[in-house]
Amino acid sequence: MNRRNLFIAICTITLGIAALAMSQTYFEDNFDDPKESEKKWVALFGEWEFKADEYHQLQNTPNCMSVVADEFWDDEWNDYTFEMRGSKTSGAEGFLIMFRCQGLMQARGQALEDPPPRMEKLKPSLEYWWNLGGWGNSRSQVESWGGKAGANSAHTIDEKDWYNIKIVNTSDSYTVILNDEEVAEVADDTEGGVGRIGLATWSTVAKYDDVVVYGPDGPSLPVDARSKLATTWAHLKSVK
């Protein structure tokens, strides 16, 4: 490698490292360590269980919810992307993907468990959920208590299939994406976009995996030993 190519390679690596340093992962859980996952989630209603490296909700009843614990959420986060995978096992509907949640969640006829202490004290109460396969698995929509609903679509949820679900939340809008296709963007500056994330079901047994929440600069990615960046570093170190 001549000096010019070496200089270009070093600059490319430096820029790549800078991009990694700027990226941020706020929260993640792939459920491969049940003891660690237990610290991260607070179940408000339903029968939630960590098994097979997934988060299962086993009770076929309305309004089953689990939210991120206080220790793993910053109440000032209002510009984040929330991704996960979901699979419906059985039941009448699909998934309820919660975001922008603060204060007391709506019980809707259920005796909810104690919420995270800090979350309970936040005012006003606010709750958003992307209802995928709602209304008897006939359509989908973002619903909200205290905010702005929208993103109506004809999407339904099939049993056993895995779905890639993404919500891009900002201070003045939210965008919902299913299987890498944008469904809708909704202008909404309610409470400046603050509020934590959660997982839920309604009259459905389902499971979730690969939950990650990251900031506007993207997720923090480790330099894997097999990555191109690591390989290039190894090559440069061998150049005399």
Give the other-Cβ count within 10 Å of 112's Cβ: 16
15 lies in the same domain as 43: no
The Cα 180–Cα 160 span in angstroms is 19
49-53 long-range contacts, CB within 8 A, separation 24+: 53/209
Give the other-Cβ count within 10 Å of 29's Cβ: 22
29 lies in the same domain as 17: no
Mean pLDDT of successive 10-residue segments in the chain (240 residues)?
60 50 84 98 98 97 98 97 98 98 96 96 96 98 98 98 98 98 98 98 98 91 40 36
Element holding 13 (H helix, E strand): helix 3-22
Domain assignment present for residue 222? The answer is: no
**How many independent structural domains does the chain possess?**
2
The Cα 61–Cα 114 span in angstroms is 19
pLDDT at position 22 is: 57
Q: What global pTM score does this model have?
A: 0.83
Domain residue limits at 77: 25-214
The Cα 51–Cα 68 span in angstroms is 18
64 lies in the same domain as 19: no
Comparing CA positions, the residue from 203, 215, 206 lying closest to residue 171 is 215
